[in-house]
Structure 1
Amino acid sequence: MAITRLEIDLEALRHNYQYLRSKLTDGVRMMAVVKAYGYGSEAQAVAIELEKLGVDYFAVAYVSEGVALRDAGVQTPILVLHPQPDNFEEMVERCLEPSIYSARMMELFSAFAKAKNQTNYPIHLKFNTGLNRLGFWESDVSWILDRLHEKNSIKVKSIFSHLVASEDKAEEEFTLNQILSFTNISKELLEGLDYVPFLHQSNTSAIINYPRAQFDCVRSGIGLYGYGNSEEETARLKPVARLKSVISQIHKIAPGESVGYNRAFKASDYMTTATIPIGHADGISRIYGNGVGYMTVQGEKAPIIGNVCMDMTMIDITGIDCKEGDEVEIFGDITGADTLAQNAGTISYELLTAVGQRVKRVVLK
């Protein structure tokens, strides 16, 4: 088995999927978000497993991610959340469905679809209800309806938006206003169409906190990978990705000796350190150095000392009964990615998706 590896636990994925499904009203569909290599894991293996479980849709950020899934044999519909005009050709060839979020994108894609002799090519209309990132405004509905009535090259498959802070109880009023805004937008659009697209706005946190906002479909990303944006929900989920390595070498350090670049750590007493073959090139950022982060050795916390190097990290194993070659867990079952990330002032999403591609993925069946 690889020395430094990211284990992908498909049994944990199945557990998370089934748990989130249990929270849905009958008939509500599930869209699995598998962008960014499946939140840093292994998108193809994750998608194939979810397809077996009966997931209704996938969502990716870019066309290249959708192409990778198609190349792996995934047949389920795939929504591309942030397509670019340069990728329209490949998108249509692979039957990927674009998010249309602006007048420019609407005009460009409808013209492209027409030139390719497409009829009713499925598109998804993205509306901005407060995130202010991508999306049409409510005031654009009339314009959109006029364009849709003029063109038969495209047809709306879904209408969607994105919540800003559904995990934050302090922002409940803002979230409820987003849900109301999306409800009003959808109503106006549906009244102007002679068919019924499906609606989706909820992310993982909203599945739990705002069941009234499930509409026809929900989108889950981080929850599928084992993190629920609250301690209570995370406890009900299982981490899909476990980042592990080994002890390459053990050193005995005397008082006054330093460890790592720039002598960032100096020993105040006799101590024992271990060098681990993983560094900031692999996603363990320098922010975890100098005692901010830790690894787990033989079930005990071993603080990271000194600056994290590009390919190696040093930890304090003083008092821990271990030897060279022993396994080390960076995050996973013992220390969740959310806990480690919080120590560094960031979030689990960033830590998970930062794991470099030279770290071997090992899929556990």
Structure 2
Amino acid sequence: MEFLKRTWAQIDLDCLRHNFELVRQTVPPQTKIFAVVKADAYGHGDQVITDELEKLGADAFAVSNIEEALHIRAGGTRLPILILGVTPAKYAGMLANNRISQTVFSTEYARALSEAAQKQNVTVDCHIKVDSGMGRIGFDALGDFDGALREIKSCVAMPHLHCSGIFTHFAVADALDADDEAYTERQFDAFSRTVRALEEAHISFETVHCCNSAAILNHPEMAGNAVRAGIVLYGLDPSSDFKAWNLKPVMELKSTVSQIRRHPKGSTVSYGRTCTLARDTTVATVPIGYADGYPRSLSNKGTVLVLGKRAPILGRVCMDQLMIDVTDIEGVTTDTVVTLFGEDHGAVLSVDELADLDATVNYELICLIGKRVPRVYVKNGKITAVVDCYYQNRISMP
């Protein structure tokens, strides 16, 4: 299928399948997989990704907020959805009516949610969040075990709340040095102790989960009866400590050459005149910029792939365009494909390399890819769908 080839994110659904199957093979049999699809499935497009993951055998989805939950529910998913963050209590009816589970992280919040659910005559399914050392949200089992236990018992007993799950989140499961490994063990012990104490009080949960992507890789024995697979589904390592898995990146970011010009030595390129050409240079303009999610911080230091060769970025990345040096690359014409990250004629420019250059993490770069960049989905080497926010359409292919 033809699509507007200005700039696009190419999403390989075969790679998604490969990564999902790796997770399935790694965790103990019968372990439920919560596929984390927050932030528009980490920038990959949540509705198409949830459709595919449901077909692959995901057991449930996890999102950040109610807007994301409603969006994937509207997209047709029938699987359970867990909101990992906060939802204002007044939306209790919306949660219940859309079969969305809500994280409960404090007595105050649980009470407000219970009262709202009672007024709206609904029962909200909930997962209890235990803070075992992340220091973010949850009942503080590491710092005040007895207090956390007392509060959780109180929340479970509140009317119109059905607490079907309990979970925690690891802070440094993606780091393998001795201190961090010990901290992960400490978190797991605090969480396990909490679950055991509740069971002794005759409070049990259908779903118990603590493994994020890094823990799935490094500590599958901590799985409980469910795991939350996030970044690994999209083919990226949780950190530089994880390189052993045969993950396949799902997203590639592509653009094209819009213009080619020869600039004499001494010319300056882009805003601020921060780049002065040291030689006569063939400059290609590429219609992608920071408004599309390509970091401005890679000005004068990033590279792209053109016909399988590296081309450095010249000057500042603009809002909608950037310039590259293609002097030493033969065969470049207007409409030649430019790869911002991904594979190009056998060469690879990874998201991890760009993240290192930008002093950030791979998560951030893929989540930054803007809505105006169409998502082009490929399966078995063929385009199966294109999602373009400006047309608000989803075009399925035969």
Structure 1 length as normaliser, TM-score? Answer: 0.95
The Cα of 1:195 is off from its aligned counterpart by 3.9
SS at match of 2:85: coil
Do the aligned partners of 1:227 and 1:234 also contact (CA within 8 Å) in 2? Answer: no
The answer for the alignment partner of 1:59 in structure 2 is: 62
Q: Which residue of 1 aligns with 2:340?
A: 330
Cα deviation code 1:331-350 (max 9, x no counterpart): 12321212211111111110
Alpha-carbon distance, 1:208 to partner: 1.2
Which residue of the other structure, out of 173, 176, 197, is the alignment partner of 1:188? 197
**Superposition map of 1:163-178 within 5 A:** 163-170=170-177, 171-178=180-187
1:143 to 2:157 alignment: no
Q: Is 1:345 aligned with 2:347? A: no
Q: Distance in 2 between matches of 1:307 and 1:234?
A: 36
- Cα deviation, 1:305-327, whole Å, max 9, x if unaligned, reads 11100000111112011111100
Query: What are the Cα deviations for residues 52-81 of structure 1, in whole angstroms up to 9, with x where unaligned?
Result: 111111000010101011111100000011
> Equivalent residue for 1:240?
250
Q: Which residue of 2 aligns with 1:282?
A: 292
Mapped partners of 2:189, 2:62: distance in 1: 24
Higher strand share: 2
Cα RMSD of the aligned pairs, angstroms, is 1.5
Letter in 2 for 1:276: V
- Amino acid corresponding to residue 364 of structure 1 in structure 2: V
Structure 2 unmatched ranges of 5 or more: 142-146, 380-398
Amino acid in the other structure paired with 1:360: P
Structure 1 stretches lacking a partner, 5+ long? none
Aligned positions, number = 362
Which amino acid in structure 1 is aligned with residue 148 of structure 2? Answer: D
Residue type of the alignment partner of 2:58:
V
Q: Which SS does the other structure have where 2:216 is aligned? A: helix
Partner-residue secondary structure (3-state), 1:272: strand
2:213 is equivalent to residue 210 of structure 1: no
Distance in 2 of aligned mates of 1:164 and 1:226:
21
Classify the secondary structure of the residue corresponding to 2:310.
Answer: strand
* TM-aligned CA deviation for residue 234 of structure 1: 6.8
Deviation (angstroms), 1:26: 1.2
Where 1:256 maps in the other structure, the secondary structure is: coil
Q: Which aligned pairs between 1:63-82 and structure 2 lie closer than 5 A?
A: 63-82=66-85
Change (3 A) 1:192 1:2: farther
Deviations 1:104-144 (A, max 9, x none): 2111111112222224x310011111111111112221122
1:15 is aligned to 18
* Match among 289, 297, 302 for residue 306 of structure 2: 297
Q: Which runs of 4+ in 1 moved over 4 A?
A: none
Question: Deviations along 1:136-169, whole A, 9 cap, x unmatched?
Answer: 11222112213423x3311211111111111211
Are 1:270 and 2:280 an aligned pair?
Answer: yes
Q: 1:328 to 1:93 in 2, by over 3 A?
A: same
Contact 1:253 1:273 in 2 (8 A): yes
Q: Deviations over 1:212-267 (max 9, x none)?
A: 21111111110000012347647611111111000001121211100000001000
Distance in 2 (alpha carbons) for counterparts of 1:183 and 1:294 = 47
Other-structure match for 1:250: 260
Give the Cα–Cα distance (whole angstroms) in 2 for the partners of residues 194 and 125 of structure 1. Answer: 12
1:251–1:272 contact (8 Å) kept in structure 2: yes
Counterparts of 2:335 and 2:314, CA distance in 1: 19
2-structure distance, mates of 1:33, 1:195:
24
Contact kept, 8 Å, 2:139 with 2:152, in 1: the verdict is: no
Partner in structure 2 of residue 40 of structure 1: 43
- Distance (whole Å) between structure 2 residues aligned to residue 64 and residue 269 of structure 1: 52
- Cα distance change of structure 1 residues 355 and 27 upon mapping to structure 2, 3 Å threshold: same
Q: 2: CA distance between counterparts of 1:203 and 1:133?
A: 15
Give me the identity figure in percent: 35
One of 155, 162, 183 as aligned partner of 1:155: 162
Residue in structure 2 matched with residue 2 of structure 1 by the alignment: 4
Compute the TM-score of the two structures, normalised by the length of structure 2: 0.88
Looking at secondary structure, tell me which structure has more helix per residue.
1
Give yes or no for contact 2:92–2:120 (8 Å, CA) kept in 1.
no
Distance 1:311 1:234 in 2: 37
Secondary structure in structure 2 of the residue aligned to 1:127: strand
Give SS of 2:195's match: helix
Q: 1:83 offset after TM fit, Å?
A: 2.6
State yes or no: 1:354 paired with 2:364: no
